Amino acid sequence: MQSVPIDARERRFQAVFSAMLAAFSYPGRLQAPWPAATPCIDACTAIADVLIDLETSFYTPDAELHQRLIRTGARVKPPEQADYQFYPLLSEANLPALQAAPVGSYLYPDHAATLVIGCLFAAGLTLRLQGPGIQSTIEQPIDQLPAAFWTLRTQVIQYPRGWDVFLLDGSRLLGLPRTTHAEIL
């Protein structure tokens, strides 16, 4: 029996998908599905290639990423309706749009948005993460995210409602499901 050969594009999809699953299974553990020094916009595009298709919707305030995501065939929606939201750089100016992102309902928690946000896993705020998939706690430094984002995230999460978040730093990926508690130290 012969198997179908897997091309480079399919290998990339599999690597990104596996890293995304691991990131949500083990929140706070950095995954590295791309080569070092991958630009955040390329990492966002790779995640979008895995997540979005003709039956989903997206929002991004970034013009270059918007043009890349259009080619997937997904519908462009305003932030209060988009299934997937991409912020290669989240600034204070983006917080009102982010605040409008769907959080689902108690009956349909799966109607919440999934956020993909660029940052740096370096000096900056240190987060203490705890929850399912974390043995006790994990401390992770995160920079280039407004401190108000963490306040907003805490306000909108009322389990099972809330956002699932992927944070990107070039070649590295970190998952923050809505079940993960993030405390700023």
Task: Note the pLDDT tens digit of each residue in 143-173.
Answer: 999 999 999 999 999 999 999 999 999 889 9
CA-CA distances (angstroms) from residue 42 to 37, 48, 54? 10, 10, 20
pLDDT at position 103 is 96
Assign 149 to helix, strand or coil.
helix
Asked if the 8-184 domain carries CATH number 3.40.50.11540, the reply is no
Structure-block tokens of residue 57: 């919707």
Domains of the chain by residue range: 8-184
pLDDT confidence tier of residue 1, bands split at 50, 70 and 90: low
pLDDT at position 35 is 76
* Residue-wise pLDDT tens digits, 41-96: 999 999 999 999 999 999 999 999 999 999 999 999 999 999 999 999 999 999 99
Q: What percent of the chain has pLDDT over 90?
A: 83
What residues form DSSP beta bridges with 174? 167
Measured between alpha carbons, how far is 103 from 80 in angstroms, rounded to an integer?
A: 9
pLDDT confidence tier of residue 6, bands split at 50, 70 and 90: confident
pLDDT at position 3 is 76
Q: Please name which of 169, 162, 170 lies closest in space to residue 182, comparing C-alpha atoms.
A: 162
Assign 87 to helix, strand or coil.
strand
Assessment of whether the complete model's pTM goes beyond 0.75? yes
What residues form DSSP beta bridges with 158? 161
